[in-house]
Amino acid sequence: MLCEEIMKISTCLCSLGCALLSLILAPTAAWSADREFRAGAFAQPISPTKFPAPVNGNMKGAFATSIHDPMHARCLALHDGKTEIVFCIVDACAIPRDVCDRTRELASQQTGIPADNILISATHTHSAAALTPLFQSAPDPDFVDALPERLAAGIARAHAQLEPAEIGWGQGSDPSQVFNRRWLVKPGEAYENPFGGKTDRARMNPGYQNPTVSRSFGRVDPAVAVLAVRSAADKRPLALFANYSLHYVGGWPAISADYFAAFAAEIGQRLHADDGRYANKPAFVGAMSNGTSGDINNVNFGGPPPGPRQPGEQIQVVARSVAEAALQAYGKIQFKSHVPLDVLAGELELEVRKPSADELQQARDLLEKTPKDSDGQYGSMPAIYARETVLLEAYPERVSVKLQVLRIGDLSVAAIPSEVFVDVGLDLKKRTPFAQHFTISLANGYNGYLPTAEHHQYGGYETWRARSSYLEVDAAAKITLRLIELLNALEKRKPQ
Ligand SMILES: [Zn+2]
């Protein structure tokens, strides 16, 4: 009897114990499943197939008749068990808002990832198939129409390749490849801008050792931010997405993804990411997103012109130099098995700098009396900008600009649909509540250059009203304020 009682009690106790244990373990299991960090990456080919292919990036519409190196959309999906975010870095000069929105919609339908959790940006290569009308270049509508499906397929593939992963980030520095391209005009050396004015005190790309300018505006951001994931199982590198504030390099008259793709290949080689050991595994994906380079290029106008170069030579020089800085940062990364992910997005209404009725009439008059070149395009800057003035008449009085901030552990990323000046990027790095920050420009749409109000006062190419520069003078200050609000809200928000 007694022993039966004892047996009964111990059975109850052990089932109680088991119940308790499963209660303790259950959340952990749920916690660990919920907390399993995964990553997947894929480089989606997106090169044009129809030639000649219109190319963005010049004052005159240019066409590529061949491919030097292919265009890709480099996609990285990150999942913290609850939240999934995606980076989609596209080899393009600029991507219009409607293409980004359509892509996000399709990708969200295919993967279940909330559309606002997807960041799509252009690298700003100036030798890729055009996606939006810029100056006298106009895209092939068939190429543009087909792109959202292709980009969404790349995002879906990265999502499908999610695997248990570890993540880390860091920052290197390469001051050798970035130069502020805006120079201060010496008093008495005013030059005429395309609107006939002589009040610009800044001159972009003035030429080597130009005696009419005194100094460059100087500020650059040499930071090379690195975000890397590796397989939790075999530590193989899955992807390395970097960010550097350099406009582009250029140099190929054919389709080319510029130094952004050369960097991706270079960093993959240096990480031995695709050597034979991982033959049957998804390929490593390297990527370079464009930081805040609205006024930054790869040309030192303070020095003498460089000697003769082979086409594409400088692209390799920059890719190797920046890859070295990225590799050093990679070497110091503390990989983590789990970090919280989070996203906040918002819209900001901004005014458009519309031409006045007089300016419109002047522009029409000028175009009327300006013959086009034999290629059917305008060759003079006044005519090119007069054409922009007329085209801006069709623009709305205000535009809604999409802003997005992402959290990856204590790293924050801001996405801005503009060619953002370096001062804006450096200011965001100073004011973010997170430990590390980088900004991706030309993201989620294209609203032209984003100079600070101070730079608007100095004038220069990036401020000249056109479809590549039409946001109100205070746009940079308003965008920065809104992003800081979003970053603070993100920081305070407990990750889901
Ligand atoms: Zn640009």
The domain limits of the chain are 36-182+212-352+395-492, 357-391
Confidence of residue 480 (pLDDT cuts 50, 70, 90): very high
Instruction: Calculate how far, in angstroms, residue 329's C-alpha sits from the geometric centre of ligand 1.
Output: 27
Instruction: Calculate how far, in angstroms, residue 3's C-alpha sits from the geometric centre of ligand 1.
Output: 86
DSSP assignment of 180-242: E-EEEEPTT-----TTS-----EEES--TT-TTEEEE------EEEEEEEEETTT--EEEEEE
Instruction: Calculate how far, in angstroms, residue 124's C-alpha sits from the geometric centre of ligand 1.
Output: 7
The stretch 379-395 carries a mean pLDDT of 98
The stretch 230-234 carries a mean pLDDT of 96
Instruction: Calculate how far, in angstroms, residue 477's C-alpha sits from the geometric centre of ligand 1.
Output: 20
Confidence of residue 280 (pLDDT cuts 50, 70, 90): confident
The stretch 222-239 carries a mean pLDDT of 97
Using a pLDDT cut of 90, give the percent of the chain over it: 89
Instruction: Calculate how far, in angstroms, residue 120's C-alpha sits from the geometric centre of ligand 1.
Output: 17
CA angle 181, 183, 186 (to 5 degrees): 165
Q: Give the pLDDT score at 425.
A: 98
DSSP bridge pairs for 166: 230
Q: Give the pLDDT score at 311.
A: 87
Confidence of residue 253 (pLDDT cuts 50, 70, 90): confident
Instruction: Calculate how far, in angstroms, residue 248's C-alpha sits from the geometric centre of ligand 1.
Output: 8
Instruction: Calculate how far, in angstroms, residue 449's C-alpha sits from the geometric centre of ligand 1.
Output: 7
Q: What is the CA radius of gyration of the chain?
A: 26
Instruction: Calculate how far, in angstroms, residue 131's C-alpha sits from the geometric centre of ligand 1.
Output: 14
Tens-place pLDDT, residues 164-203: 999 999 999 999 999 999 999 999 999 999 999 999 999 9
Distance separating alpha carbons of residues 395 and 50, to the nearest angstrom: 30
Q: Give the pLDDT score at 276.
A: 78
Instruction: Calculate how far, in angstroms, residue 247's C-alpha sits from the geometric centre of ligand 1.
Output: 6
Given a cut of 80, is residue 428 above it in pLDDT? yes
Given a cut of 70, is residue 454 above it in pLDDT? yes
Contact (CB, 8 A) for 437 and 412: yes
Q: Give the pLDDT score at 10.
A: 64
Mean pLDDT score of the chain: 94
Given a cut of 80, is residue 24 above it in pLDDT? no
Instruction: Calculate how far, in angstroms, residue 463's C-alpha sits from the geometric centre of ligand 1.
Output: 12
Q: Give the pLDDT score at 1.
A: 47
Instruction: Calculate how far, in angstroms, residue 294's C-alpha sits from the geometric centre of ligand 1.
Output: 6
The stretch 240-249 carries a mean pLDDT of 98
Instruction: Calculate how far, in angstroms, residue 307's C-alpha sits from the geometric centre of ligand 1.
Output: 25
Instruction: Calculate how far, in angstroms, residue 296's C-alpha sits from the geometric centre of ligand 1.
Output: 9
Contact (CB, 8 A) for 408 and 78: yes
Instruction: Calculate how far, in angstroms, residue 91's C-alpha sits from the geometric centre of ligand 1.
Output: 14
Distance separating alpha carbons of residues 85 and 143, to the nearest angstrom: 27
Closest by CA to 117, choosing from 376, 477, 419, 405, is: 405
Dihedral-angle region of residue 24 (phi above 0 means left; psi in -120 to 50 means alpha; beta otherwise): alpha
Instruction: Calculate how far, in angstroms, residue 274's C-alpha sits from the geometric centre of ligand 1.
Output: 33
Q: Give the pLDDT score at 251.
A: 86
Instruction: Calculate how far, in angstroms, residue 300's C-alpha sits from the geometric centre of ligand 1.
Output: 17
Distance separating alpha carbons of residues 159 and 110, to the nearest angstrom: 10
Q: Give the pLDDT score at 486.
A: 98
Instruction: Calculate how far, in angstroms, residue 280's C-alpha sits from the geometric centre of ligand 1.
Output: 39
Given a cut of 70, is residue 23 above it in pLDDT? no
Confidence of residue 32 (pLDDT cuts 50, 70, 90): low
